[in-house]
Structure 1
Amino acid sequence: MKVNDKPIFKVILIEDDPMVQEVNKQFIEQVQGFQVVGVAGNGNDGLQLVRELSPDLVFLDVFMPSLGGIETLQKLRTMALPVDVVAVTAAKDAETIRTMLRHGAFDYIIKPFKLERVKQTLERYRLQHDAWTEVPPVTQDDLDRLLHTAGASGYTVNAGALQTKDALTYEQDDLPKGLNAVTLNQVLHAMRLHDGGLSAEEAAAAVGIARVTARRYLDYLEKTGLVKLEINYGGVGRPVNRYVRKL
């Protein structure tokens, strides 16, 4: 299913606390393109919902009756179900975090959390989905850029990814006071993976910075002529500024 030519991502919540279920649902559905299609109170019921509804994404608690989050994620992987998982839990210990990430969790959100944190995760998920969907047969360099910019959170560009010739666009001495070369290169790298351009909000989610900070870097790139500003008047509400990298 698509809205405005973009896919609707189906989400299942596996969470035993009814209040947290409702908060998660409200937060997720405030992000355009994401819809909660099912809710389960334990891992066993959640697995059944995943089989029946074939979601794109699961929000998964760790501490639950019947079947906990770690065991549920392990079963999802054993069953080879084509679904991504975001851990949403109060568990803060390193071993639980490592275990969830080791079994392929796309992101790990610690309770209590804010709407902005969920939005960042979902925007990263959308960007990664678009990047893989739009990629033609790749070279090793193309694949390295995709894989090495996807950290434990799925799409966050990290400094290690900048050690490629393509990503080393700016040095600190090139920039005016107040701009950081690493951050600017991260923004550029995110744009390379999304040829249709990025809004400030999407760039912020991809890099893991505040929207106002992302806009400052995008405005700088526009002034230098590396990107162009396109104003999208489609839909209801304010127009959206999109920054598109020039070829």
Structure 2
Amino acid sequence: MYRVLLIEDDPMVQEVNRQMIEQVDGFTVVGLAGNGEEGLRLIDELRPDLAMIDIYMPQLDGLETVKQIRARGHEVDIIAITAASDIETVRRVLQNGAFDYIVKPFKFERLKQALGNYRAFRQSLAEKESLTQAELDALRQTAEQPAAPLPELPKGLNEVTLEKVVAYLRQHRFPVSAEEVAEGVGIARVTARRYLEYLEKTGKVVLDVQYGGVGRPVNRYHLKTI
């Protein structure tokens, strides 16, 4: 069982990501941190196999956290899981030895792929004292498989809020309205509706129009099952 430390400052996203990680065979979340400083302390205490780290965090951001992990000589492996998608941040995180880089919002399949690749990599290293060039190449190709790019967000929408909306939807089995999403995420109802309409347009959610006895029908949304 691979022991994972999740470093993420948003409690809602943190809980959803924890649940997804623990759906993947062979992985358990042993600690949760809300910022880089807390994450470094828990790495010292818990000695996890893998740290999954957000970039945009208070007190100590993810990039500096990754650098501190390496400077302190920790052997923990790293997967970045973040809304930060600019080239410079990606380059610097990978230069500091991150195994993978997952851009929010993402599908469960992308997280499962990353953890599966990591598991295969660790198992290969544990089973053999040395690797052939072909085996090394195969491991590198597995680790570097890119995720399918998401469509560019319309003007006025941002990746951080989109991930919060998706996280809210993941927490609810039944269809929810824009008003419920707005209250749960902490945004205006019209803003919630824009994000939901974008997710419907891109095939991520399904619209369910519910008709009551009185008044206008209510649009409700739920994540599309795969």
Alignment of structure 1 residues 75-224 onto 2, 5 Å: 75-138=68-131, 142=132, 144-151=133-140, 154=143, 156=145
Q: Secondary structure at the match of 2:143?
A: coil
Distance 1:106 1:152, change over 3 A: farther
Q: Which consecutive segments of 4 or more residues in structure 1 shift more than 6 A?
A: none
Q: Does the Cα contact within 8 Å between 1:128 and 1:155 map onto a contact in 2?
A: no
Q: Does 1:56 align with 2:49?
A: yes
Alpha-carbon distance in structure 2 between the residues aligned to 1:94 and 1:152:
21
Greater RCO (Cα-Cα under 8 Å, separation 6 or more)? 2
Alpha-carbon distance in structure 2 between the residues aligned to 1:83 and 1:145:
26
Alpha-carbon distance in structure 1 between the residues aligned to 2:59 and 2:130:
43
Q: Does the Cα contact within 8 Å between 1:124 and 1:155 map onto a contact in 2?
A: no
Alpha-carbon distance in structure 2 between the residues aligned to 1:90 and 1:57:
19
* Structure 1 segments unaligned to the other structure (5+ residues): 1-7, 158-247
Distance 1:88 1:58, change over 3 A: same
Alpha-carbon distance in structure 1 between the residues aligned to 2:61 and 2:14:
16
State the number of aligned residues.
146
Distance 1:149 1:34, change over 3 A: same
- Paired residue for 1:178? none
Distance 1:114 1:25, change over 3 A: same
Distance 1:72 1:153, change over 3 A: farther
- Paired residue for 2:223? none
Alpha-carbon distance in structure 2 between the residues aligned to 1:12 and 1:151:
24
Alpha-carbon distance in structure 2 between the residues aligned to 1:21 and 1:50:
17
Q: Secondary structure at the match of 1:65?
A: coil
Q: Secondary structure at the match of 1:85?
A: strand
TM-score of the pair, normalised by structure 1: 0.56
Q: Does 1:73 align with 2:66?
A: yes
Provide the identity percentage: 50
Report the residue type matching 2:52 in the other structure: F
* Structure 2 segments unaligned to the other structure (5+ residues): 147-226
Render the CA deviation track for 1:28-74: whole Å, top value 9, x for unaligned.
00011100010000000000001100100011000100100110000
Report the residue type matching 2:124 in the other structure: A
Alpha-carbon distance in structure 2 between the residues aligned to 1:153 and 1:95:
23
Q: Secondary structure at the match of 1:149?
A: helix
